[in-house]
Structure 1
Amino acid sequence: MNWPLVRLRPGDPFPPADQALPAGAPFAGLLAVGGRVDADSLEAAYSQGIFPWFGPGEPPMWWSPDPRMLLAPHDLKVRRSLRQSARRVMDNADYSLHVDRNFRRVMLACAAPRRDTAETWIVPAIVDAYSALHARGQAHSFELWCAGELVSGLYCVARGGMVFGESMFTRVSDGSKILLMALCGFCLRHRLGPIDCQQQTPHLANMGARPWPRPVFLQILGQALVKPGPPSWQYDRSQFQRDCAPWL
């Protein structure tokens, strides 16, 4: 079967998200190829339920999979071992929790090779584009520091009342999971979410995310975009302890 695929020139508008390649097609969920990756294109893409994902040497690829993996903040699964890790970190004065202390550094750490793969989709063009989006106040990083060193990070996109989780890294046990707790607690306090996790993975399912049909996701997105975002993205240890008290 011949699957049509939109090819974009710089500045072209995105096609509707429901025109992405269907399940069963090669590259299911792929919507378009080409165009430009910058803050303007990211704003437009996320507002329509679309995100970029491509590797080094590849043209920009834009995706809108069906189903879509979403995590409702109140559905986060915090197991006993994670509760213990969170308490241990919060009781250690060497650790501190921040938002947006060094967004670009978090992205670069997320892009670094990992034990299971040397490949990354966080190519330099992606780092530059999301850093520009961060400068506009529409992308944020949750960060865990220990003795002055960045040891875990998570970054996300925020549009209105919707949050889009992008990537995370950790150099300490359960560090990225603790930051996901912080993000979920923050979302609950500000009535944000659900958190878009984009792709289905066993790890996300174990944390409480579940697949939603794309039409439902797009409806949720449309409702969330008209809501105001939080007045501030500042965050610290005391806020974490209040927001995450039900899990601790």
Structure 2
Amino acid sequence: MIDWLDDASLDFPPTRRALGADTEAPGLLAAGGTLTPARLDAAYRRGIFPWYGPGQPPLWWAPDPRMVLRTADFKLSRSLRKAVQRFAATPGCEIRVDFDRAAVLAACAGTPREGQDGTWIVPELQAAYLAWPAMHSIETWMDGELAGGLYGVNLGRMFYGESMFMRRTDASKIALAALVCLCREFGIPWIDCQQHTGHLASLGAAELPRSAFEAHLAAHVDGPSPGPWTYHPGHWHRHLLTST
């Protein structure tokens, strides 16, 4: 049995009460509650995130284990290195941050998660994220067009990756590589990836116990967030292309 959230409070139940691996919804912690930036903030600071589909109430998750990409462990494959090098050297190709957050959200909403049908980024969730200054979009632009990107949340020295999309080859991977550069620039050691996928694992993400994830949050989520969230082309060589 999961808890039903009360709109009069932003409290969440302890994450240890999330459904276990032997259930049909492992990691499900609670349901309900009006989606607002304040509720999202309270959830993310606890390592809890919303994930649900059309016609469902808000569902709140705290999975165990947790998928995390340590920015120091990001795997820049030979093919991705070449793609980033071409991108960085091509006029009309640039990384923009928060230039069109709404377009990124809409594009991600049309990209189902690995192994799943349909969208989980429902309109009310998009509206809540867009009203929350902690949400950022990392955008891959080519020839004046939005070719791919991702969005996520920054609190303190923590970044929570949410979703990505691409319209041109490698555009989403290039956006993720740019996010890794920004995190290294800002001293953000981990990017939360929530749940395991083969794609994330191929880029260096790995699972760890929820208790370890929450201990990291306790040490990194409070305090001022870095910024400004802007991308400089020099970040490619400073943080990625010169690394081994």
Question: TM-score, normalised to structure 1's length?
Answer: 0.93
The residue aligned with 1:163 is 159
| 2:201 maps to 1:202 | no
Task: Give the 3 Å change call, closer, same or farther, for CA 212–59 of structure 1 in structure 2.
Answer: same
Kept after mapping to 2: 8 A contact 1:182/1:243: no
Kept after mapping to 2: 8 A contact 1:107/1:127: yes
TM-superposed CA distance for 1:127, in Å, is: 0.5
| 2:68 maps to 1:70 | yes
| 2:101 maps to 1:106 | no
Among 77, 80, 96, the residue aligned to 1:79: 77
Work out the percentage of aligned pairs sharing the same amino acid. 43
Kept after mapping to 1: 8 A contact 2:155/2:222: no
The residue aligned with 2:7 is 10
TM-superposed CA distance for 1:97, in Å, is: 1.0
In structure 1, what is the Cα distance between the partners aligned to 2:15 and 2:189?
Answer: 20
The residue aligned with 2:127 is 128
**Greater shift in the superposed pair: 229-238 or 20-29:** 229-238
TM-superposed CA distance for 1:238, in Å, is: 2.6
Letter in 2 for 1:121: W
**Greater shift in the superposed pair: 169-178 or 238-247:** 238-247
Aligned length: 242
TM-superposed CA distance for 1:236, in Å, is: 3.0
Question: TM-score, normalised to structure 2's length?
Answer: 0.94
In structure 1, what is the Cα distance between the partners aligned to 2:198 and 2:149?
Answer: 20
The residue aligned with 1:215 is 211
Kept after mapping to 2: 8 A contact 1:68/1:212: yes
Letter in 1 for 2:162: E
Kept after mapping to 1: 8 A contact 2:186/2:226: yes
Deviations 1:8-67 (A, max 9, x none): 132332111221111111201000011111111100000111000000111100000000
TM-superposed CA distance for 1:90, in Å, is: 1.2
The answer for unaligned runs of 5 or more in structure 2 is none
In structure 1, what is the Cα distance between the partners aligned to 2:102 and 2:76?
Answer: 28
In structure 2, what is the Cα distance between the partners aligned to 1:70 and 1:96?
Answer: 27
Kept after mapping to 2: 8 A contact 1:106/1:141: yes
Deviations 1:140-180 (A, max 9, x none): 11111112111111111011111000001011111111111
**Root-mean-square deviation (Å):** 1.7
Kept after mapping to 2: 8 A contact 1:68/1:200: yes
Task: Give the 3 Å change call, closer, same or farther, for CA 116–50 of structure 1 in structure 2.
Answer: closer
TM-superposed CA distance for 1:117, in Å, is: 6.2
1:237 aligns to what SS in structure 2? coil
In structure 1, what is the Cα distance between the partners aligned to 2:69 and 2:58?
Answer: 26
2:52 aligns to what SS in structure 1? coil
1:197 aligns to what SS in structure 2? strand
Among 116, 134, 148, the residue aligned to 1:152: 148
TM-superposed CA distance for 1:245, in Å, is: 2.5
Kept after mapping to 1: 8 A contact 2:74/2:203: yes
Task: Give the 3 Å change call, closer, same or farther, for CA 38–211 of structure 1 in structure 2.
Answer: same
TM-superposed CA distance for 1:247, in Å, is: 4.6
The answer for unaligned runs of 5 or more in structure 1 is none
In structure 1, what is the Cα distance between the partners aligned to 2:139 and 2:234?
Answer: 15
2:107 aligns to what SS in structure 1? helix
TM-superposed CA distance for 1:237, in Å, is: 2.2
2:47 aligns to what SS in structure 1? coil
TM-superposed CA distance for 1:231, in Å, is: 2.8
**Greater shift in the superposed pair: 144-153 or 226-235:** 226-235
The residue aligned with 2:172 is 176
**Greater shift in the superposed pair: 213-222 or 231-240:** 231-240
Kept after mapping to 2: 8 A contact 1:78/1:247: no
In structure 2, what is the Cα distance between the partners aligned to 1:215 and 1:193?
Answer: 17
